[in-house]
Amino acid sequence: MAKQDYFYALGRRKSATARVRLMGGKGNITINGKTAAEYFSGSEYLLHELNKPFAVLEKEKQFDVSVVVAGGGPVGQAAAIRLGIAKSLVLVNEDYKSTLMRAD
């Protein structure tokens, strides 16, 4: 990682807004002070959606994510978080952009 402590990006989807901080770590995702599993309890699909950017780049378990999300419902929030994660990964390495865009 670069000189920064974290990489910040904003993700928006429908009426949900997610402020995402990406930092080196072990793959933990914290949303509004809770783990992702607690926040999206009972929805494996939404948890899978959050990890898509990491899976596409084969970077699982390399970054920790801290998110503050507001507005919208669970699906919109998950999509906003996913977009914020993807944008912050592009800040880490510009070469990731084409791979992430191809993977939608």
66-76 confidence digits (pLDDT tens): 999 999 999 99
Prediction pTM value = 0.91
Tell me the per-residue pLDDT of 13-36, one tens digit each, with 9 for 90 and over. Answer: 999 999 999 998 898 999 999 999
What amino acid occupies position 52?
A: K
Residues 40-51 pLDDT 10s: 998 899 999 999
Q: How far apart are CA 32 and CA 65, in angstroms?
A: 11
pLDDT at 2: 47
Q: How many CA atoms lie less than 13 Å away from 53 in the CB half-sphere? A: 27
Q: Taking the CB of residue 64, how many other CB atoms lie within 10 A of it?
A: 16
Q: Report how far residue 38's alpha carbon sits from residue 40's, in angstroms, rounded to the nearest whole number.
A: 6
